[in-house]
Structures are given as structure tokens and as C-alpha cells.
Amino acid sequence: MNENKHQLPAEEQMVPKLTTHIEGLDMIAEGGLPKGRTTLVSGTSGCAKTILGVQFLINGIVCSEESGVFVTFEETPEDIMRNVRSFGWDLLTYREHEKLAFVDASPEPQGHSLEAGHFDFSALLARIEHAVSKVGASRVVIDSIGSLFSQFMDAGRVRQELLRIVSGLKRMAVTTLITAERTEEGSKIARYGVEEFVVDSVIILRNTREEERRRRTIEILKYRGASHHKGQFPFTISDQGIEVQPLSSMKLTQTSSTTRISTGNTILDEMCGGGFYRDSIVLLSGATGCGKTLTVTTFLYEGCRSEERTLLFAFEESREQLLRNAKGWGMDLKQWEQQGRLKIICAYPESLGLEDHLIRIKKEVAAYQPTRIAVDSLSAIERVANIKSFREFVIDLTAFIKAREIAGLFTVTTESLLGGTSITETHISSITDSIILMRYVELMGEMRRGLTILKMRGSYHDKSIREYQINDTGMHIGSLFKNVGGILAGAPRQHIHGETNKLAEMFEASS
């Protein structure tokens, strides 16, 4: 007897998926939503359930030539069309061209409440089926079932009626999103606690408060018969709708360049073994005023001189301040800006959420196509996020940059003038390829600056601590701090005469 005679071919055993054309969502869903089935989208008020629904329909029309039907139980079609116009979605035109149909079940302003037990869902299903047939829809959005079942008090009745609707939609062979409200974060997935059992997949949208800011996340909680990425993923609402940041979906598959680029300073190039790697991420750490912005300026200026395109994201100084300071160091950045080799983007970190900053940076990079990027400083951005979110931000940003073989120079600020590490540096030092430390050194009643290369993946580098000087011609790296120890610890002290030789002999004897 053939034991496999009732088994379906492998391709027929898999749940077919319908792409939403929301890139991050399709990535964490590993291809899209279950095709021909129903997905529940749950969330509290203001978490973008309706936007996701409309975007799902619009993307189907624009990207796949798939018509859609929007069933509304709360807002009128006119209100919905007006509310999403800011995203550039012209629903009226799609409706006129019969790419989109509305089923208006919104309450009449002076209407009376329906009584449980007398509502016939057959009429509703007939209206949906008529609309689906009229425009040839393959996508349906129902917004929202909380209003639909508001007249029912019995959860068992809700489950029975919802199952009836889901079965009806499945017979129509349409892929459906049904939105549902949660009363508060952490509460039941939907109002009646039974909705998630009837559908094939469940998406939860969250809009949680973290200190003084809100953070939006999306999670696929359930997906019958198919794998998907687990956990919460940050998303934001841009002028193009919902944009998901699928951090855990990123892969360490970037290529590795052996090409070296100049830092703009000959001595620093030699200390790095011939310059930075073309696709390396370099962290520049130091206290305020020790020369980080000057080093960044020199790095970008050298890129402009080499006919590269460079991009600076400044979160602490304005464009005019940066241009003035650079000119004071003998570097005319304005000329490069006018020639299109430099672009400066300045913003306070508090002006946007962390995900919004990330999306903006990515869009600027995609549009401008630079070969060098500098962020001054990451410590400023960290002010607007918690530790986990910030680390995710840096991982996503560095992966994005490295995938395009762009050299990145990021600055972080240490709290202590002498020695110590920054909180930022502690969290992201393992993510970056190279770390350059800049420290103040107090010697003989004088404050001087020192620079050393702490780490440089895949390359020899100078391990000495050299003096870093600033004058009206820019940065200069001088000789070693001889006979001085404890600089990185923030407690420099001069070795007494002969102690250095004694230490050298000690190491020679042990080797």
C-alpha cells in the first residue's frame, strides 16, 4: 500500500502568499499575507490600522493591478479618501476607474442602534460580493469589526458570526484584512477575545510610550501553515505610508572591500595601515572639543578633493556653523557643496523619532549616492531613544551603509574630559570596524590632545598614542607621548628617568 498516495505535491502543501508591497512587512512575513485567506490586524486607537488597510489596497492596485474593496463601519468613504490624501493616495480616481469600491456601512448620524439577534449578515456579505464582482477585486479590507459587532454582548455569538463572514470571504477567493481594536496595550488581542481564533493570521500594531516618546512596532503573532519572523519590529508612518524596519531579517552577507581611502591626513593614514577600508564603519570617540568634528570635516573634504560625493548628517551644529568652522581651518566646504560633491543635512535629534531619522538617512543616501558618510554625533541621537532601540538603529544603519560600500565615520562624545568611555561607545563598539580614541592629556599644567587607534578590523594599525594639534590649517598629528602613561585611563603621569628602560627590559626578558 502506498502510504503517500493522499499526500499533495510539495508546492501544493505550502500556503500561497500575497505580497503586500510593503517591503518590511513582506520580509517579516516571508513573502506576504496568506492568499485567499483572512488576516486580523489588531491595535489600540491611533496605531495605523486603517492606514495599513488602505496601503494594502493601493499597493495592490498600483503594483499588481489587483482591484480592491474597502468595507467601512465607522468613517464614511469621503472621510477616508480625505484622510489618506496626504500620502498621495487618490482613492477617488481609483474608484472612478473601478479599481476600488467602497461598501459603506458607516452609521447614519441620526441612526438607531441595532438590536442583537435581528442583524442579518447575509445582506452584508451580499454587498461585499457584489462590490468584489463589480471591480474584480482580489483584496478586501474590513474596517473595523469592533463597530460591526458592537451590538453583541455574547463572545460566542461574535465568534459564530465572524466565522460566517470569514468563510464567505474565503468562498470569494479574496485576501482580506480585518481590523480590530484593543482597549489598551497588553490587553486582549481584540475586544471579545475570540477574533484571533477565527482568522488564519494575526498582526498586532503597537504604539507604546517609552519615556516621553511613542514607539510603533508591528508583530506577526500567528500565521497558520507558514513560517514568519518572530518578535516586534519598529515601523514608522512616512509620507508614503507605513514603513517597517525588519532588523532581524538582515543578513551578514555584505561583500568586503580591500580598497583603501585617505582620511585626509597623511599621518593618520599611516597609523591606519594606509587609510580606511572603502566599506568600513569608523567610530571616533572623544570628549567635547577634542577635535572630532575637525577630523570629520577633514575626512569629507578629502573625499570632495578626490571627486567623491560626500554626505554629512549633523545633529549638534547648523550648516552655517559647520561651514564657518571649516573655513577657519582652511577648508572651503561651500565650494564643494555648490559643485554637488557635499551635502549637509542638519537637524535636532528631537525633531524626529529614531525610526524616522533612519528612514530619512536611507532616503538621502539612496537619492544622493554618496561614497562617504559622516554622522556627527551618534551620542546626540541616542538622547531620543532607549538602549535597545538605539542599538537596532546603529545595526540597521551600518548594515545599510556597508551593503553599498560606503565609508562611514561616526562620532560619539565621552562624558569625561580625561579618559573614560561614552555610553554610546559601550553599546556599539562591537558593531563598528574601527575605533579611534581622542583624549585630553594634562601635562605640566597644560591641556593637550592625544589620538590613538584602538581597533581596526583586518588591518595592521599603529598602537601608539600621538599628539593631536589644531591650528588655522586644520588637524595635525605629531609625535608620540614619550615617557607618559595612564592617558587612556584619564590619569596621565610621566615615568621617572630610567623607568621606561626598566620596563622595556622587563618585557624583553619575559619574551
- Residues serving a catalytic function are 74, 316
Q: Which helix (H) or strand (E) holds 168?
A: helix 155-171
Q: Which residues pair with 407 in a beta bridge?
A: 372
Which amino acid makes up residue 408?
G
Q: Shortest CA distance to 30 belongs to which of 43, 41, 15? A: 15
What's the grid cell of residue 507? 618585557
Any idea what the Cα angle at residue 222 is, between residues 216 and 228, rounded to 5°? 80
The CB density around residue 154, as the number of other CB atoms within 10 Å, is: 12
Residue 109: partners with Cβ closer than 8 Å, 6 or more residues away: none
Diameter over CA atoms, the chain: 100
**Per-residue CA distances from 175 to 20, 35, 49, 71, 142 (Å):** 10, 5, 16, 13, 11
- Burial class, 52, CB count within 10 angstroms (exposed 0-12 / middle 13-18 / buried 19+): buried
* Residues 33 and 18: beta-carbon distance below 8 Å: yes
Alpha-carbon span 241 to 87, nearest angstrom: 6
Residue 174: partners with Cβ closer than 8 Å, 6 or more residues away: 36, 69, 132, 137, 138, 139, 140
DSSP string, 205-251: EEEEEETTEEEEEEEEEEETTS----SEEEEEEETTEEEE--GGG--
Residue 355: partners with Cβ closer than 8 Å, 6 or more residues away: 215, 216, 234, 235, 236, 243, 245, 393
Alpha helices in 280-429 (DSSP H): 292-305, 319-328, 333-338, 354-368, 378-382, 387-403, 423-428
**Per-residue CA distances from 182 to 192, 196, 252 (Å):** 9, 12, 37
Q: Shortest CA distance to 479 belongs to which of 467, 493, 469? A: 467
Alpha-carbon span 260 to 239, nearest angstrom: 38
Three-state DSSP at 116 gives: coil
Alpha-carbon span 402 to 398, nearest angstrom: 6
| Beta strands 474-480 and 484-485, pairing class | unpaired
